[in-house]
Amino acid sequence: MARKSDQYYYHVLSEGIDYCMQAADLLLKTLKNYHPEKMDACIRDMHAIEHAADLGKHVMMSRLVKEFITPIEREDIIELAQTIDDVTDEIEDVVLRLYMFHIKTIRPEALQFGSIIVSCCKAMKSMMEEFHNFNKSGTIHQMIIDINRMEEDGDKLYTDAIHSLYSNPSDAIEIFTWTEIFSRLERCCDACEDVANVVESVIMKNT
């Protein structure tokens, strides 16, 4: 029978992905209904999500320090918590750059990125809900593959977006700002894949 403390760590890791999903939903909503004058409020809302995610991680770390037995190696719990937190941080970075670069209009590729990031976060949530039962799960490996495929979709979108941006260069500032924003969006997809890769590594070590 699993101990309550075992379930605690799986629950907190899953809760961390809830924050990723909240951040991804806010990003996509912002991109779909973009208003430069409302970015202050968006940044405030996004930071509240990121701050709550950090607090949850710190509470878990404090408990982990005192825990004698953990369901998986404590180093793996720490790495998972950090990679999950990185997803929220990367999403927040996109919003900050939309504001810092004073972006007026959203390029269509950014909306596609937003949708991919939301899908990645939903897939991570499904994966983490199965993680506590990874020894018996018949679906978690496919979930990892799905996240890797979405990250590849993000890679291709990034390549195509940069190609389109530089095809008819007319405004150096626009090229600079969108090169950076597309890079940050692609890093969100990479961060989701990192979570899947750590989960896969933990499974391999424990089976």
Written as one letter, the residue type at 64 is L
pLDDT band (50, 70, 90) for residue 91 = very high
Give the span between the Cα atoms of 70 and 190, in whole angstroms.
28
pLDDT score at 186: 98
pLDDT higher at 45 or 135: 45
Which residue is listed with tokens 């997803």?
87
- Average pLDDT score, the chain: 94
- Section 31-41 average pLDDT: 96
Question: Which pLDDT value is given to residue 168?
Answer: 82
pLDDT at 128 (0 to 100):
94
Whole-number pLDDT of residue 5? 62
pLDDT at residue 3 greater than cutoff 80: no
Instruction: Report the CATH architecture of 4-205.
Output: Up-down Bundle (1.20)
4 has pLDDT over 70:
no
For position 2, what pLDDT does the model report?
47
Task: Give the closest residue to 188 by CA, choosing from 150, 162, 159, 131.
Answer: 150
In this prediction, residue 114 carries a pLDDT of 98
**pTM of the prediction?**
0.94
67: pLDDT strictly greater than 90 = no
Structure tokens belonging to residue 87: 């997803």
Tell me how crowded residue 123 is: count the other CB atoms within 10 A of its CB: 23
Percent of the chain with pLDDT over 90: 86
Q: What is the pLDDT of residue 120?
A: 98
What digits encode the pLDDT tens for the residues 92-123? 999 999 999 999 999 999 999 999 999 999 99
Can you tell me the mean pLDDT for 152-172? 94
Q: Which residues contact 119 (CB under 8 A, 6 or more apart)?
A: 150
Mean pLDDT, residues 63-82: 91
The residue ranges of every structural domain in the chain are 4-205
The mean pLDDT of 156-165, rounded to a whole number, is 97
* Average pLDDT for 168-192: 95
- Better pLDDT: 155 or 207: 155
| Lowest-confidence pick of 28-32, 41-45, 171-175, 186-190 | 171-175
**Which tokens in the block code for residue 136?**
């018996």
